[in-house]
């Protein structure tokens, strides 16, 4: 028996139907690689191992869960370690689909690592706290639209699948949960300086009540950048495409300022 450890965000799913539904949302096709983050006691894993057509690997930080999984699924490829720290190559080579009932305390960080590997991560199916799921799926104009919404939606199509109440977990988390799916879009490249894009999005939302003119002041772009009409708006009013266009404008002005 593996006892849940709170500091590892362990809330084990008890409901088999919910577990099945999550694994059925996986878009991986025959021959493709799948990485499960935080299998714990294997409630999702038990369904995933029933698919011999996929190549499954799991990454789990908890020694006791790892030992349990080794005993229960001797043929399973288990990587023991921290998803946020371990070299990517230890978990995946080439295109990969990610699935998991995420440790909620690090779900945003998991997505930042996914973003860093956006050319390899084809899709993500995950359960996380509803509030974060909402933020990721939200469109511009909403109070919860933020950094992760813009950065993830730039590269992924986000589907909000279903909500999950606390009672189906042991122990029950304090918050509602939700399952979402992200599928990599066709956009190989944004057509702008992607590092600058991320910087503008992050800085814009760090001061989300301010106009972009004020929020982006610290980035000290050439003066005429700040006279663009879009600078009157707040970050939450800009779509992904608006942010891409803004980044292109900034690049143009920076180039012009250097000449
Ligand atoms: N999938 C299981 C467990 C979900 S709880 C279920 O649905 O029941 C989250 C799991 O993530 C736990 O097993 C926890 O040990 C693991 N975990 C927590 N932090 C982790 C990290 N940084 N890297 C990998 N696994 C982690």
CATH no. for 12-184: 3.40.50.150
- CA 127 to ligand 1 center in whole angstroms: 11
What is the enclosing helix (H) or strand (E) of 18?
A: helix 16-24
- For the record, the structure tokens of 251 come out as 């690049």
Distance CA 88, CA 183 (A): 20
CATH 3.40.50.150 positions along the chain are: 12-184
- CA 259 to ligand 1 center in whole angstroms: 52
Which residue owns the Cα nearest ligand 1 atom 19? 8
> What number of residues does the chain have?
259
Any ligand 1 atom below 6 A from CB of 44: yes
Positive/negative CA dihedral, 124, 162, 80, 8: positive
| Vertex 246: Cα angle to 240 and 247 (nearest 5) | 90
**Rounded CA Rg of the chain:** 20
Residues 200-258: tens digit of each pLDDT: 999 999 999 999 999 999 999 999 999 999 999 999 999 999 999 999 999 999 999 88
**pLDDT band for position 189 (50/70/90)?**
very high
Any ligand 1 atom below 6 A from CB of 127: no
Task: Write the class of the CATH domain 194-258.
Answer: mainly alpha
Which residue owns the Cα nearest ligand 1 atom 11? 38
Any ligand 1 atom below 6 A from CB of 9: yes
Kindly give, in sequence order, each residue whose CB lies less than 8 Å from that of residue 255, ignoring residues fewer than 6 positions away. Answer: none
- For the record, the structure tokens of 58 come out as 């799991």
DSSP 191-223: SS-HHHHHHHHHHHHHTTTS-HHHHTGGG---G
- For the record, the structure tokens of 34 come out as 């799948």
How far CA 67 is from CA of 36, 42, 61, 87, in Å, comes to 16, 12, 11, 22
Q: Which of 14, 61, 91 to mutate to test the pocket of ligand 1 (most atoms within 8 A of CB)?
A: 61
Q: Higher model confidence: residue 211 or residue 259?
A: 211
Residues 30-76: tens digit of each pLDDT: 999 999 999 999 999 999 999 999 999 999 999 999 999 999 999 99
pLDDT of residue 6: 86
- CA 224 to ligand 1 center in whole angstroms: 48
Any ligand 1 atom below 6 A from CB of 42: no
Any ligand 1 atom below 6 A from CB of 11: yes
Distance CA 180, CA 75 (A): 29
Helix axes 240-258, 147-155, angle to 10 degrees: 90
Any ligand 1 atom below 6 A from CB of 10: yes
Any ligand 1 atom below 6 A from CB of 59: yes
Any ligand 1 atom below 6 A from CB of 65: yes
Beta strand pairing status for 177-184 and 156-164? antiparallel
pLDDT of residue 258: 86
CA 125 to chain CA centroid, nearest Å: 9
Q: Can you list the positions of beta strands (E) in 95-215?
A: 96-101, 121-129, 156-164, 169-170, 177-184
């Amino acid at each position: 028996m593996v006892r849940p450890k709170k500091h590892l965000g362990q809330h084990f799913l008890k409901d088999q139907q919910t577990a099945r539904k999550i694994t059925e949302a996986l878009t991986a096709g025959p021959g493709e690689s799948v990485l499960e983050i935080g299998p714990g006691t294997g409630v999702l894993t038990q369904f995933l191992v029933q698919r011999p057509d996929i190549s499954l690997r799991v990454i789990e930080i908890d020694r006791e869960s790892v030992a349990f999984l080794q005993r229960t699924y001797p043929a399973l490829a288990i990587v023991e370690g921290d998803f946020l720290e371990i070299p990517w190559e230890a978990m995946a080579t080439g295109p990969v689909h990610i699935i998991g009932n995420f440790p909620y305390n690090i779900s945003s960080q998991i997505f930042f690592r996914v973003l860093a590997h956006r050319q390899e991560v084809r899709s993500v199916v995950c359960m996380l706290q509803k509030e974060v799921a909402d933020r990721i799926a939200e469109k511009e104009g909403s109070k919860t639209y933020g950094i992760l919404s813009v950065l993830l939606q730039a590269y992924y199509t986000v589907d909000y699948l279903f909500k999950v109440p606390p009672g189906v977990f042991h122990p029950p988390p304090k918050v509602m949960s939700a399952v979402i799916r992200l599928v990599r879009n066709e956009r190989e490249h944004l057509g702008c300086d992607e590092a600058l894009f991320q910087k503008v999005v992050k800085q814009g939302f760090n001061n989300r009540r301010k106009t972009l003119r004020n929020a982006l002041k610290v980035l000290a772009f050439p003066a005429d950048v700040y006279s663009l009409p879009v600078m009157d708006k707040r970050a939450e009013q800009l779509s992904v495409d608006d942010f891409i266009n803004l980044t292109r404008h900034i690049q143009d002005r920076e180039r012009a300022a250097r000449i």
